[in-house]
Structure 1
Amino acid sequence: MAKHTGDKPYMCGECGYRTAYRSVLTRHMRAHTGGKPYKCDQCDFSAAQKGNFAEHVAKHNGDKPYMCGECGYRTVYRSALTVHMMTHTGVKPYKCDQCGYSAAQKGNFAEHMSKHTGDKPYICGECGYRTAYRSDLSKHKARHTGDKPYMCDKCGYRTAYRGSLYKHMRTHTGEKPYKCDQCDYSAAQKGHLEQHIMAKHTGDKLYMCWECGFRTAQRTTLSLHLRTHTGEKPYKCDQCDYSAVQKCNLDEHMAKHTGEKPYKCEQCDYSAVQKCHLDEHMAKHTREKRYECDHCDFSAIEKKDLDSHIVKHHIYKPYML
């Protein structure tokens, strides 16, 4: 009856939280008591809620019970499926009142708002590094710990981030869930779709360098550009004095020490130090023209061919007059 009457007879004595259900209050109280009655018999994980425990156990047995009815994508987490479904529906309920930005996730919206406010709420307890983005803080912390708990069961690739593993798996499955609503382009990563839309449809370059006025459509490109001013080389080799501006450069350097090439082609015996090199190689099998010219309709399988095209057709050469 509480659903119909709106009554919430069960109240938390600690914070005043009210609910119509005694079981919900019981779960809520664990936030105060720290109780975690659901314990994993395969590791030291424990959970306050049965749903969280079930999702954890799925990591051990490999179950992915949540499946997308549109494309067959499967996941261990119900929340991950909810987020994935938005790539099909295009629903973006979180809207910025200061610009035209909208987001499918509350976390992404909060991070966007920091562009307007200048807030950097996420801080590293080790060195004081601050950022507007929780994802950036997670990546930063991995530099201190070096942990890479997430591993690909197809090729052995390891990463510090669950999200990076999801993205990596698309190199095996071929999934491209991010689809352009203005043409037939699709991408494996959200950032690639955003780059495509800005380059091909809007021409927007939202990110600007305050030192020299350089503008770009990508936040990551701006971050890399800023290091040309600061001289920062955060990626350091632990076997020699080499340091790099970009992680991919460090990975490439490390191969000189280890000889490891973790990115392997499933269609031939090719292997690569860097994922981007494998992506370029795979295009030779698929004939996908991943590199598109910003000035005309030309596209190419390899980046060097696009570079040659731009030099030949779009760069002003006064000596030719």
Structure 2
Amino acid sequence: MKKHKGQNDFNCKFCGKGFVQRKIFNSHLRTSHQMSQEEVDRLRWADSGCEIDGNKCVECNIEFQTCQELFKHCTAKHAEKQKFMCDICGKAFTSKAWLTSHQKYHKGIKSKKCMKCPSAFTEHKGLRTHLRRVHNMSDEEVYALGFGAQ
């Protein structure tokens, strides 16, 4: 039922699209952004707090054969770094800013309004994507409106 409530737990940092299920999000990354499975797996570490270098955990100085093994290690050994937890869904984040951003979706806060139509978004990235796709605005036009990388 999350889909009907507009709750997307997996948001694409490249295009702003949101997804309810990780497997659909992963498929989007592979097809829409031509990412390999290894690159998709590495994105999963973005919020884990585990510092990596290739297939090596920098904190523990352990190198793994595959990125999947490294991911399992990081989630098992370094999961405590995700200390900011959403009181609505239980999802954990490494920073207060990521948690606050995530909670906007639950609360339905859509303060970023489109000046060309009634659409509204929780974050600037959603509005930027909307302006490009729906209103066919160029990057330069979007940035001129003050919706640069924020």
TM over 0.5: no
Q: Under a length normalisation based on structure 2, what TM-score does the superposition of the two structures give?
A: 0.37
Which protein shows a greater Rg? 1
Q: Under a length normalisation based on structure 1, what TM-score does the superposition of the two structures give?
A: 0.19
Relative contact order: is structure 1 or structure 2 higher (C-alpha 8 Å, sep ≥ 6)?
2
